[in-house]
A and B are shown apart, each in its own frame.
Chain A
């Protein structure tokens, strides 16, 4: 199933809404093997980046595994002084 050596390489990036397991089994079916994994942080999120290899072809699959930074909600209050005090106190300010 391996492509002929020397055939031109093309490039494509796709974003899919299917579980990782399905992507992995699909790659496995066409002969791509997992070569290495790294944890990266991009766009404020942690990703597990997996490199699959088949001959000279490579496919990387990045799966989001969590947020990189603690999310700081921004609270905008339009209310009384008491309300503001209560909210500020309530969030530990």
Chain B
């Protein structure tokens, strides 16, 4: 069964054509959480990096990112970063030390034996607060420290806008079947 990758524009327009043809179809959606260090602060465009500017600094896109202040990353087991620590090295852009979790969203539609899909990653939103924390490096009495939290994006903004008559099924996994008996 062939798989065809679409961008958002193509995917939506294909669904529009299907709707106009009165063809019956079903849209599947799969949303999975990933935290595999795919997105780090050095490779973010300026607009996104600005949201982290309280915590870190860089000269430009793809330059090394350093911590401006000590901070705690609650998403990654309350990992503590020190002031001046290298968070994402320009010489190692594929392996950031500080990374952003994301949802991978996959939309697909099966028509006439083919699967047409559109995939995108939605980054979690950073929230930076100052909290009193205790720990080895913060002392028993605790100290005020910057805390980085990641909030997942709302489902409504992850969704592709589709008319109500289009049924969207949420799925966990898609198994591609070859013939009648084998799968991979």
Interface residues on B, range: 35 or more
B43 in complex: contacting residue of A14, A15, A68, CB < 8 Å: A68
Q: Do the beta carbons of B12 and A38 come within 8 Å of each other?
A: no
Q: Does B120 contact A (CB under 8 A)?
A: yes
**Is A42 part of the contact surface with B, judged by Cβ < 8 Å?**
yes
Partner pick for A12 among B16, B44, B153, B158, CB 8 A cutoff:
B16
Complex interface: chain B residues within 8 A of A35 (CB):
156-157
Report A15-64 residues with CB < 8 Å from chain B CB.
Answer: 15, 35-43, 46, 48-49, 51, 58-60, 62
| Docked CA distance A23–B38 (Å) | 31
Cβ B156 vs Cβ A36 within 8 A: yes
Q: In the complex, what's the smallest C-beta–C-beta distance from A13 to chain B, in angstroms?
A: 4
A48 to B153, CA, bound (A): 12
Say yes or no: is A73 at the interface (Cβ < 8 Å to chain B): no
Identify A13's interface contact among B13, B102, B121, B153, CB under 8 A.
B13
* Minimum CB–CB distance for A57 against chain B, Å: 8
Q: Are B93 and A51 in contact (CB under 8 A)?
A: no
19 extra interface residue pairs, beta carbon distance < 8 Å, beyond A59-B161, A69-B43: A9-B165, A12-B12, A13-B9, A13-B12, A14-B9, A38-B122, A38-B154, A38-B158, A40-B120, A40-B123, A42-B120, A42-B121, A43-B7, A46-B44, A48-B47, A60-B157, A65-B45, A66-B47, A67-B45
